[in-house]
Amino acid sequence: MPDLLHISASPRGEESQSLRLAAAFLDTYRAVHPAAEVEEWDLWDDSLPAFGPAAARAKMTVFGGGTPQGEEAEAWAAAKAAFARFDAADRVLFSVPMWNSGVPYVLKQFVDVVSQPGLVFGVDAVNGYRGLLAGRGKRAAVVYTSAVWGPGLGPEFGADFQAPFFTGWLNWAGIGDVTEIRFHPTLTGDADELSRIAHEAARDAAKNF
């Protein structure tokens, strides 16, 4: 079981601002916890299963109290394996660039794959949803970056459906301890100074993570 799992939603490698900030976070985390095991999960490495018709049927089978069979069972096993990988670490770092005011589609795929009844959530007619990751000491840190949108800008520069969606999902799943690290230089901001501030925030967050 890793002590910390880094889940990357950026495909841009060394050019990625979110990955640069994640690297600063991880360097500091390793310095503070030299014996810690850190696992990397690149969501673009084809290890994340699809969530298509068979998986959707399997989910509804489980909802109905049944047991998936055949290709449904295979899809359900793949979803459970992805959840287990996510659930293995009590501390999870996400690097999340903004795409079209939201998150990269591969991160939405991750959310849809692991968000399964009995794993991430329960639900009933009286109390609604219940996040099953609550009360377990699970913590998350999320690096949010964007290039055009920024706080205080008008709608002509886009909107923020990035953090409300993803931090909202973490909270819905029961992870209430979420640290956000942000870098939004915009087209006219002082990118170097804002980068310095964001890297400092990443290092500071890692010291107490």
Q: Which residue has the tokens 């609604």?
A: 128
- The structure tokens listed for 125 are 């007619």
CA distance 104 to 14: 17
CA distance 130 to 136: 14
**Tens digit of pLDDT for each residue in 72-97?**
999 999 999 999 999 999 999 999 99
Read off the pLDDT of each residue in 192-206 and give the average, rounded to a whole number.
Answer: 97
Q: What region does 174 belong to: left with phi over 0, alpha with psi -120 to 50, or beta?
A: left
Say yes or no to pLDDT of 158 above 90.
yes
- The structure tokens listed for 65 are 């109290």
Q: What is the pLDDT of residue 1?
A: 85
Yes or no: say if 96 and 166 are a contact pair by the CB < 8 Å rule: yes
The residues pairing with 187 across neighbouring beta strands, listed in sequence order, are: none
Yes or no: say if 91 and 33 are a contact pair by the CB < 8 Å rule: no
Confidence grade of residue 201 (pLDDT, cut at 50, 70, 90): very high
Q: Which residue has the tokens 């909270």?
A: 171
Does the predicted model carry a pTM greater than 0.85? yes
CA distance 185 to 141: 20
CA distance 109 to 107: 5
What number does CATH give the domain 4-207?
3.40.50.360
For the chain, domain boundaries: 4-207
